[in-house]
Structure 1
Amino acid sequence: MDPSSMAPLEDEDSAIMKTIKAASTGFAAGTMWGTVVATWYDVPRVERHVALPGLIRTLKLCGNYGLTFAAIGGIYIGVEQLVEKQRAKRDFMNGAVGAFVAGASVFGLKGRGIKSAISSGSALAVTSAVLDIGGRTTRTDVGKEYQHYTIEKKPSPSTS
């Protein structure tokens, strides 16, 4: 194996590594969400006393959600990095294009229609643009310093 071919994978900030991380994180999050969704579904009467069919159904649901989230995360970051490299700019448009492609390709295939592809791609693109323009943060540093937290008990006031 040529060591120079491994160079893009060794760099933590490379486009390939970011795409792999996004797909892996998406798979993990999707699998967890699939587990939550599987607990909401009622197991049919036929499967109540037989564990294996219920377990297989749960694992399929977890896998479907995991693969869907992995595809969205991987496509989103991959296209975002590609557009950033081509445009040589780092702004909200890169994320919006990545989100549109991810939403249109993944949910368009699930919905099996152009209308669902365009609407889901547009919804993800608007969401991505709003988050990117908003700064992707819920807190801003205002420079205020807070007192540190201690676990020591305060001395009780002496009553004389």
Structure 2
Amino acid sequence: MDPTEMRYLEEENGAMMKTFKDAVTGFATGKTSLVFIGAEQLVQNFRAKRDFFNGAHITMTKVARTHY
């Protein structure tokens, strides 16, 4: 049988193709979730550092005011 004729015999939505499509969809969803989680952690880390420095600045200002 000619390879061009076999193309018509293959199922477009066979079990193997469905499995492959589901795997690709799961992979894409996982990658999107990882990017979102990574961005959230970066933002949270940045905010924590900024809050620490702002808090340290406020504390130092209070200490300076009480001593003078």
Normalising TM by the smaller chain, what interval?
0.5 to 0.7
Aligned mate of 1:79, from 21, 42, 58: 42
Quick one: which of 41, 62, 81 aligns to 2:25? 62
- In structure 2, C-alpha distance between the alignment counterparts of 1:46 and 1:83, rounded to whole Å: 57
Q: Across the two proteins, how many residue pairs are aligned to each other?
A: 46
Aligned ranges 1:2-41 → 2 under 5 Å: none
Structure with higher helix content: 2
Tell me: CA distance 1:81–1:52, structure 2 relative to 1, closer, same or farther (3 Å): same
Query: Percentage identity across aligned positions?
Result: 9
TM-score by length of 1: 0.25
Aligned-pair Cα RMSD in Å: 2.6
Distance in 1 separating the partners of 2:33 and 2:47: 21
| Bigger-Rg structure (1/2) | 2
Task: Please report the TM-score for the alignment, with normalisation by the length of structure 2.
Answer: 0.55
The Cα of 1:46 is off from its aligned counterpart by: 7.1
CA–CA separation in structure 2 for the residues paired with 1:82 and 1:46: 56
Residues 11-42 of structure 1: CA deviation (Å, up to 9, x unaligned)? xxxxxxxxxxxxxxxxxxxxxxxxxxxxxxxx
Shift, 1:83, TM fit: 1.1
1:52 aligns with 2:12: no
Secondary structure in 2 matching 1:63: helix
What stretches of structure 1 of length at least 5 have no aligned partner?
A: 1-43, 90-160
Which stretches in structure 2 are left out of the alignment for 5+ residues? 1-6, 53-68
Higher relative contact order (CA 8 A, sep 6+): 1
The residue correspondences of 1:48-127 to structure 2 (distance < 5 A) are 48=11, 51-88=14-51
